[in-house]
Chains A and B, each alone.
Chain A
Amino acid sequence: MIKILNISGRVATALLFLWITAVVAFGAAVDPDRLTRQANDLMGQGDLAGAVEVLKQIPAPASGGEGEAFVRSRLQIARLHFSLGEMDKALAAAREVLVLYPDNSEAKNFVASVEQARQPRYVTFLKDCLRFLPALAKGAVMTLLLVLCTIVISPIGGLLIALGRISTIRVISVACWFVIWFFRGTPLLLQLFFIYYGLPSLGITLAPLTAAVIGLGVNYSAYLGEIIRGGIQSIEHGQMEAAKALGMTYGQAMRRVIIPQTYKRLMPPIGNEFIALIKDTALVSTIAMVELMRAADQLFNTYFNVTALILAAIVYLVFTTVFTFIFEKIEYRAGIYEHR
């Protein structure tokens, strides 16, 4: 049984060989369709080099003749070489088409993209960077604007909330507690949605930038409020007594004695908040604001190119690094009376 199979195997091999020889000798020269099918079969079997050899047998058309099969075969050869990593051969195959048909757009695109792929990666990356930079820069400016607005608004709001929280007037203290409770207890994303999409139903329609600044400003005021309150209450009680003993009012004591002493203590936690803020501005991309994150996302979706995201990450890192340094400087300055 085994012997019979063995013999029939050999016969089959011999027949296949004969068939290929016959095809090579007679059939292919006259029938591009069959050669194409044969090449497709070989590709199906994973024999890409074999497929190339088969496709090569499709001849160039006589001058003025119909060359569609030739063009298709050479482009296929080019793609196969490309898959095999043989860039020179791939280019050569595509250029065979361009010699006869210089306007063939498929061949031109292929040559262009292969040549681009043959460039070192960093060249491609730098070219992409240049291409994306204008859009990202616009987004970055918007992000910076949002950050700066919030940095101006939130310490003022935070101070008011902090003073309200420690007020002996119960209504004010409870109201401030409520503000903190609400804005720390719900997601910033939800607050932004509410301000931008929810308020119009109450008859208040806000521009995206206004809505974003209000959302970030109020949210960060609530956080800073608790930090500032902690800072004020960490100042030794004797300071308030000494100020009062001089005859200062509560307001004078706060302004001249207590609050200036909190600066140094507040800088690290507030710096932390502002670093978080830089990244939280990405959330406003959800309310029709084109800032850095949104700009990067749009580029990524248009070109399906990760470079846009990498660039955005770098810009965020630059922002956070610069802010970190600035806050370290301010912290040192604020505590200068402890260094001397």
Chain B
Amino acid sequence: MTETLANLALGFSVALSPQVLIYCVIGCFIGTLVGMLPGLGPLAGISLLLPVSFGLSPTVALVMLAGIYYGAMYGGSTTSILMRLPGEAASVMTCIDGHAMARQGRAGAALAIAAIGSFVAGTLSLVGLMLLAPPLASLALKFGPPEQCALLVLGLVVLAAMGGGSVLKSLAMTVLGLWLGTIGIDQMSGFFRFQFGLVELGDGIGLVPVAVGLFGIAEILASAGKPQLERPRTPAFRELWPSRREFADSAGAIGRGTVLGFLIGIIPGSAHIVASFASYGIEKRVSKTPERFGQGAIAGVAGPESANNAAACGALVPMLALGVPSGAIPAVMIAALVVHGVAPGPTLIQDQPALFWGFVAAMYVGNLVLLAMNLPLVGVFVQLLRIPYAYLYPAILAFCVLGVYAASQSAVDLWIMAGAGAVGYGLRKAGFETAPVVLGLVLSPMLENAWRQSLAMSDGSYAVFVQRPIAAGFMLAAAVMLAWGMRRR
């Protein structure tokens, strides 16, 4: 405990430095905008701003990207409550009772409870992250290539099985991403795979053009031309304080949402989305007045909003402790660390204590910043929603082009972005989720190296994956998850 507190003190000395603070505030502000604006989710927002982070130190870059991720969770609730329009997918459940409250003139209370619930959940989940990640990383240090390989297989299978859609489609998308990750020069033999006459592909297909294309461009293609949104009414500052009854009704929901969200967040999958749906279901079940859900029950706002923020924090546990992303957003954040020369994995906490603890402390600060920023500035953020989408989407497209080019200085990546956008749009129309493609792309080199190293150390015996107890446990868990996922459909 003393060691944890000493490490946290080190973290706050990093987080409270002027540069980290400034970028934490910038990240939270941009994240709130990204979460509010339809057509820009946290993933597209983080991907777009990845190149901007290249000139920063790894700690500052990670703090800014996490601020965007977290801020988007906060921002998504504003449009859900005021306009019944989820800025991002995790805010869908908030629409139901949040907007019903807004129609009854209680928009301010709904916004306040969403912000307070997010703050409480985010802060408590950070304690979980702080206590869980270091021992998990110590355990993972005992892993060799077979355990790493089995863990990655488990992560990919769990993501496919826990996702919202068809398991078969998710697995196909994962394998597509894994194949995209094999393009470029093979790290073990130096062979150029799938060159297609382009020297630029030597380093492989970049994560940024694929992520921006699949999420940013595909969203623009699907959203452009949609009718103009209704103009929201901004609640006055004095309307923001919830009543004593509303506080009492929310307290339990916030507590349950926090625990549930954090636990779901650790499991790979679209954690924050699953968490908010699950929390809404639980709140309705435990409520003494379930008939009020859908009519403006404040627990229907407090639970899902707390759960999605706690899940966002929980998703950082496997990312920071094991170097294994539990979804597409942590995958992009891992890519940012790699670009900065930081090796993600169990050694991160040991080798880079200032980065890990600085990041944890900056998240505490970021939570406070978001609480302080979101309620008083709600009017300012709402003004941005009045820009017609016909003017907004060309600007978003321009930033996609700018972000992708700035990341690599290569026009080939712009073609990849446009291609990924077209493919992403087509896949969306056919009912496929595209997040597994990104996760497969990121994990592919790690998985292939771990597989080939395992075979090298076992003299070519595939039994190495079932003879070592931890690897066998992961493989068994993967098989069980796969069978469960297939049976569920």
Tell whether A and B belong to one assembly: no
- A→B interface (CB under 8 Å): none
- B→A interface (CB under 8 Å): none
